[in-house]
Amino acid sequence: MSWQPIFLDRLPAKIYEKQYRMIISWRYKFRNSIMDRIDPRSRWIFSFAFLISATMFWNANYLFVFFVLAVIWYAFGKTTWKETRHGWLLVSIMLFSMIVINTIITGGGAGGVVPPGGHVVWDKGFSLPLLKWHIDFGLTVERIWFAICQLMRLGGVSMIFVLIPYTMDSRAYGATFHGLGMPDKFAYTMELAFRFIPTLARDLSVTLDAQKARGYELEKVKGGIFRKIARIAPLLVPVTMNAIVTSEDVANAMDLRCFGQAKRTWIYPLNYHWWDYLVNIFSAFMLIGSVVAVYVFDQGGYWVPNWFLNLFIHH
């Protein structure tokens, strides 16, 4: 079941939809997937171990292993394309920019890894017919291979992290970060922020409606960028100031209940299962193994396999 604020459970569905459809809905829903059964703490441990491990390598053999691992992890989430396409749109823009523009065309993205020179396969650049621009660039085999490595590396990391909003229950964040060693107050801040989101979304919606009734238009503001930004003020100021005034009441109420005087308990307690320990142990091995492979056996470096060179270079 998708999450909604507890106090809204009592509202008839029609009123709830009418008031909240405009702004906020969490992307998480229970899918009865393998990922739903893995403890969120183990998931964060795995995700960060993967990030640190994968970014140590430019060696395609290792990156391929990480990529396959990411595909398997992603499949555990049982998400659909329709659900996650928004996240992938952002990742696609990033990958296009990093791989096509920065690596293949300009070579800037490969500058830190691929040695200068190389085997040229295309040196004529290309023209943009409508604009009549000619873009000069020389494409080398080494840069094409680097683009493939980058696709596996960034694609793998993206799969791990794009999955999080769709498969991690937002109610468990406070307890999760507390379980990972974050102090009570910081973990509770995170928990409280989640609680405030629907309230502030409602305030924003009410303020927007009130300002619109006075002729305010958020989307169709005339003028340049500076004017557009300044015109946000009638929305930003009342919502922010109202939130600050409300905060004082919340803080007073928490003080009256002796907040921070004793160790907290959490509404959604987390318990490790045997498979969570396996994920943690695997993550530790992945991280230690990567450090040893890169810093002891020098396996992390970039190189182009001969079979790939032979595809382009004819002897």
Residues 91-120 close enough to bind another protein by CB under 8 A: 91, 93-94, 97-98, 101-102, 106, 108-113
How far apart (Å, rounded) are the C-alpha atoms in residues 93 and 269?
Answer: 38
Q: Which amino acid does the sequence have at 184?
A: D
CB of 310 to another protein, least distance (A): 25
Q: Please pick, from the candidates 3, 4, 11, 27, the single residue that binds another protein as defined by CB under 8 A.
A: 27
222: left (phi over 0), alpha (psi -120 to 50) or beta: beta
Q: Please pick, from the candidates 68, 180, 192, 284, the single residue that binds another protein as defined by CB under 8 A.
A: 192
Long-range CB pairs of 101-105, under 8 A, 24+ apart, other chains included: 103/143, 103/146, 103/147, 103/150, 104/139, 104/143, 104/144, 104/147, 105/135, 105/137
- 163 is a site residue for another protein (CB under 8 A): yes
- 237 is a site residue for another protein (CB under 8 A): yes
Task: For 122, list phi and psi in degrees, rounded to 5.
Answer: -155, 120
Beta carbon nearer to another protein, 93 or 281:
93
Count CB-CB contacts under 10 A for residue 73.
21
Stretch that binds another protein, among 11-19, 60-68, 180-188, 290-298 (CB under 8 A): 180-188
Beta carbon nearer to another protein, 2 or 25:
25
How far apart (Å, rounded) are the C-alpha atoms in residues 11 and 109?
Answer: 52
Are 54 and 66 in contact by the 8 Å Cβ rule? The answer is yes
How far apart (Å, rounded) are the C-alpha atoms in residues 51 and 289?
Answer: 14
- 188 is a site residue for another protein (CB under 8 A): yes
Cross-strand partners of 128: 133
Beta carbon nearer to another protein, 12 or 225:
225
- Give, in order, the Cα–Cα distances in Å from 76 to each of 61, 106, 252: 23, 37, 44
CB of 163 to another protein, least distance (A): 8
CA-wise closest residue to 57 among 120, 113, 119: 113
- 230 is a site residue for another protein (CB under 8 A): yes
DSSP code, position 115: P
Beta carbon nearer to another protein, 19 or 246:
246
Tell me whether strands 133-135 and 139-140 are parallel, antiparallel or unpaired: unpaired
How far apart (Å, rounded) are the C-alpha atoms in residues 168 and 76?
Answer: 12
Q: Restricting to residues 127-156, which ones interact with another protein according to CB under 8 A?
A: 146, 150, 153-154
x-or-dash string of contact with another protein, 61-90, rule CB under 8 A: ----------------------xx-xx--x
Q: Please pick, from the candidates 126, 186, 275, 285, the single residue that binds another protein as defined by CB under 8 A.
A: 186
Q: Restricting to residues 279-298, which ones interact with another protein according to CB under 8 A?
A: none
- 246 is a site residue for another protein (CB under 8 A): yes
CB of 159 to another protein, least distance (A): 9
Beta carbon nearer to another protein, 217 or 277:
217
Beta carbon nearer to another protein, 16 or 314:
16
CB of 147 to another protein, least distance (A): 11
Are 234 and 216 in contact by the 8 Å Cβ rule? The answer is yes
